[in-house]
A and B are shown apart, each in its own frame.
Chain A
């Protein structure tokens, strides 16, 4: 995949520069390029200061955050504390919300990858009537606003509620305020993009490899698990990261399908903290940073796949 964000390129080509340049020339060149460097650094700072300000503020004394700007932290740098984190985790139940986010996100991501990979295999390597029409419907659904689906889905969930306690996880077995319900919804909403991405990748696997396996008597299941999946790991990794972040960061679906605050993921919890403690930034900054920690870790560890996912399917909303 072209255009890795993780690779440095365009450094001036070396061969001609082996001869030492006069100092004046180097100075002149650096000076001429100074505006470029300043502009790049300015933009980089402009983009990162808001996040850094949030991070710094979350470690300041609660009283300081709401009375003086984050930049004051530099004048007395030893007044940092974990009190805000303790507060949001224990009394504002962000600990529970963090777990809820994990419970919601991990299965949703896993099911999307699995179900989409099955469908993508059929779309890429099987002949059946209506194949193209069905795939075009999938591609078309890629841009449908979720809002278009929420009223009927909510109604369906209310009608089909199974009002028994879900063992181990809590909430109902099915309906609104149920983990199974939200897993299914997130899986379905993620499918058009996932099928599109994987079908394009599966389709680019050389036909010879699959045909020789088929002639050797391998079943579809064997071809799928032993050939397709291992060969498509880069695409699957990209999809996994994308879907994980998408579900982790979702607010709208949880807002409508998870009525019970006990089950609320972090986005929902923070959004209600904002409406009840609008300017208590010591709470909000710490809460926001807890919700950002995992996405940021994934981002820094797997940036390459993240970029690939974006390049491979830049239609998803």
Chain B
């Protein structure tokens, strides 16, 4: 539209631009600077101007890579655990969401069935943590899962503390046989995440499924295709862009995971992820430089996703 003064758009934009600049753009840049500075340089660039000696180069990143204090701040565990979250959380949530979207579409009580899966989306991670601490409780008289387990004739498992590998609660292999992040407690935490986010995957994938024309499916059936073939050759390919959208969101969730781990274990028993370690380092230990470096590591993990979502936006604009 024509006839506006040149500054009119900026009046409409200014509240958003100012807020985003102050709370997102400037802090992101300043955190980069802080990550190259010593422990008490929370001011980032401003501290650097006051006192250039606070610049420590790559020391904070070296700390993350070398992991010199594994008992206090185990950076390797945090990185591995984030990778574990990324793979296991995304890898379980997408298929479960898809399975449920497909199953529910075949019954008359679809709406009710979907609501039950979807409800956990509405509650906070803090409330979910309480729910699942209660489920995982060690005392088999109180904790539901251990009650089932002891009823089946086996011993109680400390789900949130057990560092054993995933099979140990079910065999006699004993504790501490795990390597890296494959610990019982990490699985227990990830399952809570899956419980909360399966509904999201289900809703989005279900919308995608509804978009597939029934004529195509009928035609395939008439041609004698089995259900599995239809799934593999028709449904999955049509759904794949939707699956990418869902998986991207879940990956971001997995990387930023904080509340759940913080309330359920507080990062104890090597369940720390980068976000919880960041919080401990920066706001409990006062190691601002190191905390900033951890935040930068988190950002580096999401940069590829950022690029993908910008590309997708540009593509949408061109095809609009």
Asked, given contacts A140-B310, A281-B134, A314-B246, whether A220 binds B299 with beta carbons under 8 Å apart, the answer is: no
On whether the beta carbons of A148 and B295 are closer than 8 Å, the reply is: yes
Asked if A122 contacts B124 (CB within 8 A), the reply is no
Instruction: Write out the residue numbers on chain A whose beta carbons fall within 8 Å of the beta carbon of B92.
Output: none
Chain A interface residue bracket vs B = 35 or more
Chain B nearest CB: distance from A124 CB in Å? 11
Judge if B190 is at the interface, Cβ distance under 8 Å: no
Q: Return the CB mask of B298-320 against A: 1 if under 8 Å, else 0.
A: 11001001100110011001001
From residue A39, how far is it (CB to closest CB) to chain B in Å?
6
A54 to B147: give the CA distance in the assembly, Å. 16
Asked if B256 and A147 make an inter-chain contact with CB atoms under 8 angstroms apart, the answer reads yes
User: Cβ of B119 and Cβ of A149 under 8 Å apart?
Assistant: no
Q: Pick the contact of A152 from B26, B119, B279 — CB < 8 Å?
A: B26
Whether the pair A249, B123 counts as a contact (CB closer than 8 A) is yes
CB-defined contacts of A7 to chain B, threshold 8 Å: 111
Q: Are A53 and B249 in contact (CB under 8 A)?
A: no
Q: How far is the CB of B222 from chain A (nearest CB, A)?
A: 15
Surface stretch bound by A, among B12-20, B53-61, B69-77: B12-20
What's the minimum C-beta distance from B175 to chain A, rounded to whole angstroms? Answer: 22
B86 contacts partner chain A, Cβ-Cβ < 8 Å: no
Q: What's the nearest-Cβ distance from chain A to residue B244, in Å? A: 11
| B320 cross-chain contacts in A, Cβ below 8 A | 203
Residue of A nearest to B146 (CB): A69
CB nearest to B242 among chain A residues: A314
A189 within 8 A of B: yes
The answer, yes or no, to whether A151 is at the interface (CB within 8 Å) is yes
Whose C-beta in chain A lies nearest to the C-beta of B278? A147
Q: A214's closest neighbor in chain B, by CB?
A: B1
Tell me if A's interface is mostly helix, strand, loop or mixed. helix
Cα distance, A299 to B43, chains bound together (Å): 41
Q: Which residues of A contact B112 (CB under 8 A)?
A: 44
Given contacts A139-B310, A139-B313, A191-B19, contact A151 B282 (CB under 8 A): yes
How far, in whole Å, are A47 and B121 apart by their CA atoms in the complex? 11
* Residue of B4, B107, B112 ringed by the most chain A CB atoms within 10 A: B107
Task: Check A285–B144 contact: CB distance below 8 A.
Answer: no
Q: Does B275 contact A (CB under 8 A)?
A: yes
Q: Taking chain B's interface residues, is the majority helix, strand, or loop, or is none over half, making it mixed?
A: helix
Selected contact of A53 from candidates B134, B209, B246, B306, CB within 8 Å: B134
Q: How far is the CB of B159 from chain A (nearest CB, A)?
A: 13
Asked if B23 and A185 sit within 8 Å, CB to CB, the answer is yes
Q: Does B179 contact A (CB under 8 A)?
A: no
Could you tell me if B120 and A47 are in contact, using CB atoms closer than 8 angstroms? yes
| Nearest chain B CB to A76 CB, angstrom units | 16
Given contacts A220-B12, A314-B245, contact A142 B203 (CB under 8 A): no
CB < 8 Å: which of A5, A54, A116, A252 contacts B115? A5
Asked whether A51 and B131 contact (CB < 8 A) given A3-B208, A192-B24, A251-B258, the answer is: yes
Within the complex, what minimum Cβ distance (angstroms) separates B47 from chain A? 9
* C-alpha spacing A67/B141, complex, angstroms: 6
Give the tally of cross-chain contacts (CB within 8 A): 336
Chain B stretch 208-265: residues in CB contact (< 8 A) with chain A? 208-211, 245-246, 248-249, 252-253, 255-256, 258-259, 262-263
B31 with A148: CB separation less than 8 A? yes
- When chains A and B are docked, how far (Å) is the Cα of A140 from the Cα of B309? 7
**Which B residues are in CB contact (< 8 Å) with A154?**
42, 283
List residues 116-173 of chain A with CB under 8 A from any CB of chain B. Answer: 116, 118-119, 121-123, 125-128, 131-132, 134, 136-156
Q: Mark B280-301, 1 if CB is under 8 A from A, else 0.
A: 0011000010011011101100
Nearest Cβ on chain A to B239's Cβ, whole angstroms: 12
Point out the residues of chain B lying under 8 angstroms from A121, CB to CB: 12
**A123 to B28, alpha carbons, bound, how many Å?**
23
Whether B16 contacts A67 by the Cβ 8 Å rule is no
Bound-state Cα–Cα, A44 to B27, Å: 43
Question: B117: CB under 8 A from chain A?
Answer: yes
- Residue B80 is within 8 A (CB to CB) of chain A in the complex: no
Query: A303 to chain B: which residues have CB within 8 Å?
Result: 115, 118
CB-CB under 8 A from A146, the residues of chain B are 256
A200-214 interface code vs B (CB 8 A; 1 in, 0 out): 000100000011001
| A149 and B23 contacting across the interface, CB-CB below 8 Å | yes
Cβ-closest 9 pairs across A and B: A3-B207, A188-B23, A249-B124, A149-B27, A119-B16, A152-B27, A288-B130, A299-B122, A122-B12
Q: Sample 27 A-B pairs with CB under 8 A, ordered by A number.
A: A3-B203, A3-B210, A9-B105, A10-B110, A43-B113, A48-B116, A51-B120, A68-B141, A70-B144, A119-B16, A126-B1, A138-B20, A145-B275, A147-B258, A147-B278, A150-B27, A151-B34, A185-B23, A191-B16, A248-B124, A249-B124, A251-B259, A281-B142, A287-B130, A289-B127, A315-B252, A317-B253
